[in-house]
């Protein structure tokens, strides 16, 4: 899996946003399984002040002590789901996105062991779940949301996996990963018929 992602993302040029906002780093954790890789997601606690009860990737705001946004993503992932940085092989950054709370988010793809135990930090995370990459490549979206950003409208899929809805910023990051790593061809600029 790591070789495949290295190969496919080596030529990828992520989109950078030239905006002066607080920064955050998130991890897109992909399990090391060539046959059926999975992506790890979290459900944020209902007690948090922002994005409460929403599906997200592990990560958070940059601390002054963080040497880079990649370090932020690894530190926050460790805090939120108990995955130590030495268990993550960072592959590449994805395109930056802006959260509703005006935080500039840089996602990083990382390969992790499929069998490493993960533990949700109850102060931040209600649950941890995994979804096979193959599920998203079928693009069986529950709906398509029209989201506005900087005078543009983006048509963002919402996926349902069991009781979880993957939508909004997490879905934008997910689609960027699927398009870059798997050539999924999911177009955020065109509405999907029946979506």
162 and 127 Cβ atoms separated by less than 8 Å: no
Predicted confidence pLDDT, tens digits, the chain (195 residues): 889 999 999 999 999 998 889 999 999 999 998 789 999 999 988 775 555 679 999 999 999 999 999 999 999 999 999 999 999 999 999 999 998 888 999 999 999 999 999 999 999 899 999 999 999 999 999 999 999 877 889 999 999 999 999 999 999 999 999 999 999 999 999 887 654
> What is the predicted pLDDT for the residue at 108?
98
**Centroid of chain to Cα 34:** 20
Give the dihedral of Cα atoms 55, 59, 61, 62; nearest 10 deg. -170
Class of domain 2-137: alpha beta
24 and 97 Cβ atoms separated by less than 8 Å: no
CA distances from 182 to 96, 136, 178 (A): 19, 10, 5
Per domain, the residue ranges of the chain are 2-137
Query: Quick check: pTM over 0.85?
Result: yes
Largest Cα separation within the chain, whole Å, is 47
Torsions phi, psi for 128 (to 5 deg): -120, 135
What is the Cα–Cα distance from 55 to 16, expressed in whole angstroms? 24
Q: Is 59 left (phi over 0), alpha (psi -120 to 50) or beta?
A: left
> What is the predicted pLDDT for the residue at 25?
98
> What is the predicted pLDDT for the residue at 92?
97
What is the Cα–Cα distance from 14 to 108, expressed in whole angstroms? 10
Beta-carbon neighbour count of residue 52 at 10 Å? Answer: 11
């Amino acid at each position: 899996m790591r070789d495949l992602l290295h190969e496919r993302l080596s030529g990828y040029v992520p989109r950078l946003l030239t905006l002066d906002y607080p920064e955050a780093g998130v991890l897109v954790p992909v399990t090391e399984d060539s046959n059926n890789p999975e992506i790890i997601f979290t459900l944020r606690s209902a007690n948090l002040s922002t994005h409460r009860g929403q599906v997200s990737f592990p990560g958070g705001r940059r601390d002054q002590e963080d040497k880079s946004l990649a370090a932020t993503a690894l530190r926050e992932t460790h805090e939120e789901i108990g995955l130590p940085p030495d268990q993550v092989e960072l592959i590449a950054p994805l395109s930056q996105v802006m959260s509703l709370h005006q935080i500039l988010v840089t996602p990083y793809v990382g390969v992790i062991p499929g069998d490493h135990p993960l533990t949700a930090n109850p102060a931040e995370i209600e649950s941890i779940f995994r979804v096979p990459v193959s599920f998203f490549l079928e693009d069986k979206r529950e709906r398509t949301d029209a989201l506005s950003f900087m005078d543009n409208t983006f048509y963002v899929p919402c996926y349902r996996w069991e009781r979880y809805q993957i939508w909004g910023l997490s879905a934008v990051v997910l689609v960027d990963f699927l398009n870059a790593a798997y050539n999924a061809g999911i177009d955020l600029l065109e509405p999907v018929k029946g979506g």
